[in-house]
């Protein structure tokens, strides 16, 4: 991936935090790479190289700055929103697929050979899948070293390293410190067993009230809870289950994770970032939408509105199908009945409302529930069964690396799932930033409130100017409604 040197250098010279995660600055005279907003003295331009990822800088022999922690910067919105193979691969690597399934598993999910996948990632990111996964393992290990009292052998295993020696060598290469020195520099915070608190950085601004308000209105007791400042949710993770509490703060979201298996730290963090849309570039989004005179005042008065996504694509899809043509409250009631039909685990912890706090059931479980568990019209029940069976059989993927067009086409081929439901699932489960639903009644009410045309055809035509951020425009219209 070619980076514009002058543009990058201007961002570094101004210490612009909006570019954190877009690229890394490597200084040849020190052997260190930084994020663009690093407070250190701006290096001379003749001593600087720019890399599109931390993994690329590490591969070139540079080590992470201990002051600005470039490996902990928000992920690049470029890879977060792209629907091509590279964007899908980066999201799957972030979810830990390489650690669990290796590069062959990643390539198989994407439908490419390992060699071709390596070539595409190297051309775009300056590093192949193994190097990208290694960079993520190093960051996960650092978090565990600095914030837990786990032994280094336990941390090496939890972070995905094949051996303690590999763990030690990688930490030394990336941070120029041994694990013992990292732990000495930042004393471990002793916490409840299995509990880890991390900071999830984001690009300002973040409209936390809009984000929590959207999640609160659709919260499902028994799996999640939302109060004035914190969103809590039970997660089904690759190795076990977990519970996360997310509290937005200035420049970061505090995430307290209770994990049954610490190997799930990296995928849990990746899913929390996706849920809150923390890798978005709100300035780019808002500038595009504010160019429409009808949206200018709204965008300027409420900057940083995000698109809440999902930690589990199948769960979001079930909610979307259940919510067709019923109120949010009615959908919540139906979903609670569905949850109660699934026996809780014996050791499930009680939620504030006294119900077992547990993840949403997986597709295979829902597919095998008796008809009495659904409490809905037969046609809707058939839609849910078809959805659950397609996901359970592997015919339909709704994970972060899913092909959006293929997923939407498959969804619309299922009984009872039309374009609105498929689009909503693509927006929130798969993360498509450019979904627009011109027939949506709430969107049309919001359009009327803003003086926009409210007929589906006219509204859809007007929305063409909001590309590629029509999902964010839809959130604005819903808020206006």
Helix segments in 345-469, DSSP class H = 363-367, 378-392, 404-412, 419-428, 441-449, 456-463
Q: What residues are paired with 199 via a beta bridge?
A: 254
What distance in Å separates the CA atoms of residue 290 and residue 443, rounded to the nearest whole number? 17
Q: How is residue 448 written in tokens? A: 């009327």
Contacts of 322 (CB under 8 A, 6+ apart): 331, 334, 335, 338, 376, 380, 384
List 232's β-bridge partners, or say none: 225, 245
CB atoms within 10 A of CB 116: 12
Identify the bridge partners of residue 243 per DSSP, sorted by sequence position: 234, 258
Torsion, CA 405, CA 410, CA 413, CA 415, rounded to 10: -130
Question: How far lies 173's CA from each of 40, 166, 458, in Å?
Answer: 21, 10, 57
Which tokens belong to 391?
């996901």
Residues acting as catalytic residues: 34, 440
Side-chain half-sphere exposure of 308, counting CA atoms within 13 A: 16
Distance (Å, rounded) from C-alpha 32 to C-alpha 352? 47
Question: What does the chain come to in residues?
Answer: 481
Tell me if 85 sits within 8 A of 30, measured CB to CB.
no
Strand partners, 225: 232
| Residue 96 dihedral angles phi and psi, to the nearest 5° | 90, 20
Q: In the beta sheet, which residues pair with residue 248?
A: 253
């Amino acid at each position: 991936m070619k980076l514009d040197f002058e543009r990058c250098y201007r961002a570094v010279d101004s210490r612009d935090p909006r570019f954190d995660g877009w690229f890394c600055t490597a200084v040849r005279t020190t052997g260190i790479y930084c994020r663009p907003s690093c407070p250190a003295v701006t290096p001379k331009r003749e001593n600087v190289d720019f890399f599109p990822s931390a993994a690329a800088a590490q591969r070139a022999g540079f080590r992470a700055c201990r002051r600005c922690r470039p490996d902990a910067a928000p992920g690049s919105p470029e890879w977060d929103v792209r629907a091509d193979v590279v964007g899908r691969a980066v999201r799957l690597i972030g979810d830990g697929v390489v650690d669990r399934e290796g590069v062959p598993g990643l390539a198989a999910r994407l439908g490419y050979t390992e060699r071709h996948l390596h070539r595409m990632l190297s051309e775009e990111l300056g590093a192949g899948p193994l190097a990208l996964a290694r960079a993520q393992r190093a960051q996960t290990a650092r978090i565990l070293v600095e914030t837990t009292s786990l032994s280094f052998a336990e941390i090496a295993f939890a972070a995905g390293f094949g051996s303690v020696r590999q763990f030690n060598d990688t930490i030394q290469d990336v941070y120029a410190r041994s694990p013992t020195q990292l732990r000495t520099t930042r004393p471990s915070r002793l916490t409840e067993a299995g509990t880890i608190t991390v900071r999830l950085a984001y690009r300002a601004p973040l409209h936390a009230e809009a984000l929590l308000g959207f999640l609160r209105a659709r919260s499902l007791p028994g799996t999640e809870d939302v109060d004035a400042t914190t969103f809590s949710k039970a997660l089904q993770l690759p190795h076990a289950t977990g519970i996360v509490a997310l509290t937005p703060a200035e420049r970061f979201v505090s995430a307290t994770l209770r994990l049954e298996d610490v190997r799930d730290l990296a995928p849990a963090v990746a899913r929390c970032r996706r849920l809150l849309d923390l890798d978005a570039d709100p300035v780019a989004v808002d500038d595009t939408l504010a160019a429409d005179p009808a949206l200018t005042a709204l965008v300027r008065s409420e900057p940083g509105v995000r698109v809440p996504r999902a930690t589990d694509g199948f769960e979001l899809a079930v909610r979307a199908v259940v919510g067709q043509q019923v109120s949010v409250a009615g959908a919540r009631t139906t979903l609670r009945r569905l949850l109660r039909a699934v026996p809780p685990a014996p050791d499930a912890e009680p939620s504030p409302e006294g119900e077992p706090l547990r993840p949403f059931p997986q597709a295979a479980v829902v597919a095998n529930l008796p008809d009495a568990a659904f409490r809905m019209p037969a046609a809707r029940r058939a839609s849910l069964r078809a959805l659950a069976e397609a996901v359970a059989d592997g015919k339909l993927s709704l994970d972060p690396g899913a092909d959006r067009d293929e997923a939407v086409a498959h969804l619309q081929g299922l009984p009872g799932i039309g374009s609105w439901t498929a689009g909503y699932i693509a927006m929130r489960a798969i993360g498509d930033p450019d979904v627009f639903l011109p027939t949506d009644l709430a969107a049309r009410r919001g359009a009327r409130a803003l003086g926009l045309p409210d007929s589906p055809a006219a509204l859809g035509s007007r929305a063409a100017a909001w590309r590629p951020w029509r999902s964010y425009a839809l959130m604005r219209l819903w808020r206006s409604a």
